[in-house]
Amino acid sequence: MAGIASRVTVCIQVVDENDNPPVFQELTYTGTISEAAPINSVVISEDGKPLVIEATDADKNHNALLVFQIVEDTAKLFFTVDSGTGSVRTIAKLDYEKFSAFYFSVNVRDSGRPQLTAEKPAKVLIRVVNINDSPPQFSQEAYDT
Ligand SMILES: [Ca+2]
Ligand SMILES: [Ca+2]
Ligand SMILES: [Ca+2]
C-alpha cells in the first residue's frame, strides 16, 4: 500500500497421477529352450540372447513399476516372466514328447492406484528343442517263439 514490494519463492511439487497404462514394445515374442534345460533356465530368443519381454510406462515410480503375468494356466506351470527384467524362465522340467511348443499371452500392469493394464496382451511362442532322451524299449518283456 505504501509502494513496498516483497518477493517469495513458491515451490510447487507436481504429484504424478497414474494416467499412463504400460505399453508393450512388441506384441509378439519368439524363443526356444531345450527340453534338457534345468529348472530356472532362461528362454533364448532368435538372436541367441535371453528372451526379454519389454514394456514401458510413461509415469514415475510405483505408477511405472511393472508386473508381468502369464494368462494361460498350462504355460503358467512351466514359465514365469521376471518382473524386474522381463526375462522368461522355466519353473518346471520340460518334455518335448509332452509339449513341443507353448503359445501363450502375457499381460502387464503397473503398481499404481488404480492399477492400469496394457491395452493388448503380448503373444509369446516358445519352441521346445528335442533331445534324444528316450532310449528304445521293447514293448514286451518276453517273446515266445
Ligand atoms: Ca502420470
Ligand atoms: Ca502407469
Ligand atoms: Ca526327446
Q: Which long-range contacts (CB under 8 A, 24 or more apart) does 3-11 make?
A: none
Cell representation of residue 112: 499404481
Please tell me the distance between residue 35's alpha carbon and the centre of ligand 3 in angstroms: 7
Cβ neighbourhood burial of 10 (10 Å; 0-12, 13-18, 19+): exposed
Residue 1's pLDDT band, with cuts at 50, 70 and 90, is low
Residue 137 is predicted with a pLDDT of 92
In our burial notation (b when 16+ CB lie closer than 10 A, e otherwise), range 37-66 reads beeebbbbbeeeebbbbebebebeeebbbb
SS3 call for 63: helix
- C-alpha 137 to ligand 1 mean position (Å): 62
Which ligand has the shortest distance to the CA of 134?
3
Structural domains in the chain, CATH included, are 23-129 (2.60.40.60)
Q: Say which ligand is closest to the CA of 14.
A: 1
The pLDDT > 70 percentage for the chain reads: 99
Checking if the pLDDT of 52 tops 70, the result is: yes
- Residue 13 DSSP code: P
Residue-wise pLDDT tens digits, 118-129: 999 999 999 999
- How far is the C-alpha of 141 from the C-alpha of 105, rounded, in Å? 45
